[in-house]
Structure 1
Amino acid sequence: MSPGGLPIRQVAYFCADVRAAALAHHRRFGSGPFFVADGIEVTRSLHRGVERPFDHSSAYGQWGELMIEFVQQNNSGPSALHDLYPEGSGRWGLHHVALFVDDVDAAIARLDQEGFPLAQRSVRPDGFVFAFVDTSAAYGHMTELYAPTPGLTGFYRMVAEAGRKGVGTEVLIPLTL
């Protein structure tokens, strides 16, 4: 369980190359297949209160009962990803766990009152909001928050179902988000 008693829905790792990381994880642990989205579009992204570009790619797969994500940042500059893994450091690893919350902004406010500041809040073209709260001082990683919209829960079901069926010939499957 996570802070507040909410179940962790996803574990995400920051990496240099989402495809290489997903393939290595698949070979080592049998996870996947992985759905790979390049250049995930956001219409607005505030990092530490400053609007900044946030160009990232992700690979999503199932690992047992949990979704696993590998995420890379495609642009240079500050972000919640670079908060834990500074640009040019060559360091990679666990970045965040993701939680479903009923109200992202209310959860951000609650966690801020508990001493966990907002690192980044981003909005996708369809209005979908995701946020990274900096819980690293207590847990060693960020916590991602998003509301369980029908599109999101359907995506989680699709990834889980692909994981249950097992990996066919394709471990990496292109995905447009």
Structure 2
Amino acid sequence: MSRIFGPVRQNGYVVRDIEKAMTHWVEVMGVGPWYYIDRVQTDWFRHRGVDSAVEMSIALANSGDLQIELIQQRNDAPSMYKEFLEAGHEGLQHLAFWSKNYQALYDEALRLGYQVGHEGQIGGDQGRFAYFDSAGHPGTVIEISDISGAKGAFFEHIRNVSADWDGADPIRPVSR
């Protein structure tokens, strides 16, 4: 439990091959089903304060209450995902904290001195997210995500389905 951000709700892994990563999580780890979005449509995305046309695919599954996110960037646009891979890393890149009062949490993080690395929005005002730089070590970037709208309901659905998953239909494409 973070005294600033609350409980960790998601571990985010940046990978070079999302299909291979999903297969690993299903076959080796027994985690699924995966909700796979081949090309995420962002309303806007900024990297270090500058608009960026990042293209990415994501997959989401739960292990208990912890959501696992896989992210594969599909182009060379500036992002913290690209920086992570270019630094020679692959794997756990961020820990995510969710809020129904996103703006207050965002403002508090800035007040405490956190610096935004990249941020964006998916599906309207209640789909905002921000990643804060952490100079610590790989795998400790902090993400905050607004779950007050449809994204929160989608995340809850994924958690509920995973609780009774029997291994069938392990990868479930989501059209956006």
Distance 1:138 1:114, change over 3 A: farther
Deviations for 1:44-91, whole angstroms, at most 9, x for unmatched residues?
A: 1111011111211111011133111111101113202123222xx663
2:42 alignment partner AA: V
Please name the residue that 2:173 is paired with.
174
Q: CA deviation at 1:125?
A: 4.3
TM-score (norm: length of structure 2): 0.88
> How do 1:53-132 and structure 2 match up within 5 A?
53-86=53-86, 91-127=89-125, 128-132=127-131
Q: Deviations over 1:2-56 (max 9, x none)?
A: 3515011111100012221011012122110101001100121111011111211
Report how many residues are paired: 175
Quote the RMSD (CA, aligned, Å): 2.1
Q: 1:138 to 1:16 in 2, by over 3 A?
A: closer
Kept in 2: contact 1:13–1:93 (CA 8 A)? yes
**SS of structure 1 residue aligned to 2:39:** strand
Does the CA contact (< 8 Å) of 1:31 and 1:64 recur in 2?
A: no
What's the TM-score, normalizing by structure 1? 0.87
The answer to whether the 8 Å contact 2:146/2:152 transfers is no
Structure 2 counterpart of 1:146, one-letter code: S
132-141 vs 11-20, which moves further:
132-141
Distance 1:83 1:150 in 2: 30
Structure 2 CA distance for aligned equivalents of residues 102 and 164 of structure 1:
23
Please show how residues 5-84 of structure 1 align to structure 2 within 5 Å.
6-84=6-84
Q: Specify the code of the residue in structure 2 equivalent to 1:47.
A: H
Is residue 12–residue 68 contact of structure 2 (8 Å, CA) maintained in 1?
yes
Query: What does 1:128-167 correspond to in 2, within 5 Å?
Result: 128-137=127-136, 140-167=139-166
Q: Please tell me the residue identity of whatever aligns with 1:111.
A: A
- C-alpha distance in structure 1 between counterparts of 2:24 and 2:78, whole Å: 27
The aligned amino acid for 1:164 is: A
> Which ranges of structure 2 fall in alignment gaps of 5 or more residues?
none
Counterpart residue identity of residue 104, structure 1: Y
> Structure 1 unaligned runs (5+)?
none
